[in-house]
Structure 1
Amino acid sequence: MEELGINPVLLVAQIISFGLLFVIFKKFLFGKIQESLAERRQAVEKMFEGKAEMEKKLQEFEAEREKRKAADEVEAKKLLAESKKEAAIKRSEIVDLANKEAELARMRGMERLKHETEEAEGKLKGKMAGLATNLAKEMIATSAKDAKWQREVIKASLLAAKKAESAK
């Protein structure tokens, strides 16, 4: 072995040293290392158990969130329907009010038109009576032939004038 560059005495000494170190480490260190590894393994197992529990809680939370979301959607639809109903009622009220105001304006216009028509008719009757009287006077003046006919024309003119005055 010396030919290979290995000294047998040194090799035996190293083997004995390694054996002594192994026994010392095994007695004093390996036990503590084993305990640390066991503790670490337990901590990792607890962490995985906690992870499963957290996943379960997360699923419960998601289910609760979905329930709330569905309830909120139902509530939103309900509020939207109520708002639409109220808007329809308000629209109906506004349309009714506008129709009433339009009808009132139409009635006022009809009254004013009726009043103006009556005034115009009264004025027209007055003018017609005046014209009839003037016409009768001219006819009487031009045709003084018959006294009876003149009396009838005068009576007719007076009657027309009285009717015109009573119409006012």
Structure 2
Amino acid sequence: MAGVWAAFVLLTIIQWTRAQAPAGYEGCFQDNIFVRAFPHEEKWDGQLTNARCVNHCRNKGYAYAGSQFAWQCFCGTEQNFQSLPLALIDSSCNSDCSGNNAEKCGGSLKLSVYAVVALQNEARLVGGSNNREGRVEVRAANTKDWGTVCDSGFDMDDAMAACKMLGHGDAEDVRTSSSFGQGK
């Protein structure tokens, strides 16, 4: 029972902490007009908000979104994010978003960067030769990181449940021990 209480308290603290900052906010970063930190899928938006920028990048399949100049949205990959310089103080991103002046959308050559987080609990298959096989990975709502489902004790019942979650028919086979590459 103590373990259940500890898990409940930890989950409550995590949820409360997340509510204090916008979901996925990573910080304010310097950009370079000649070599964009997030060079993909630029979108000019006269009603820009950080949520609109994140949704644009989510729809294009990118892991990160960066708003800049109050009306520009840029999308980036994990590699683009990892190559950013150290974060600046948040007040450096001081341009009011054109769609909501209560939000900050970067600044002059400054990006307000957001991770594209899950809107709900998600599951996917990774490392297979088609979309019906692979290593099962999950991520929780309002998080950006995927984690591998442990294969220890993973059996046909678990595979059937995973296939249903993914919108597939019945499972045909269960393979374990890194059949689809190392997970994390």
With the shorter chain as reference, the TM-score category is: under 0.3
Give the helix-richer structure, 1 or 2: 1
Query: Between Structure 1 and Structure 2, whose CA radius of gyration is higher?
Result: 1
Greater share of strand? 2
TM-score for the superposition, normalised by structure 2:
0.18
* TM-score, with length taken from structure 1: 0.20
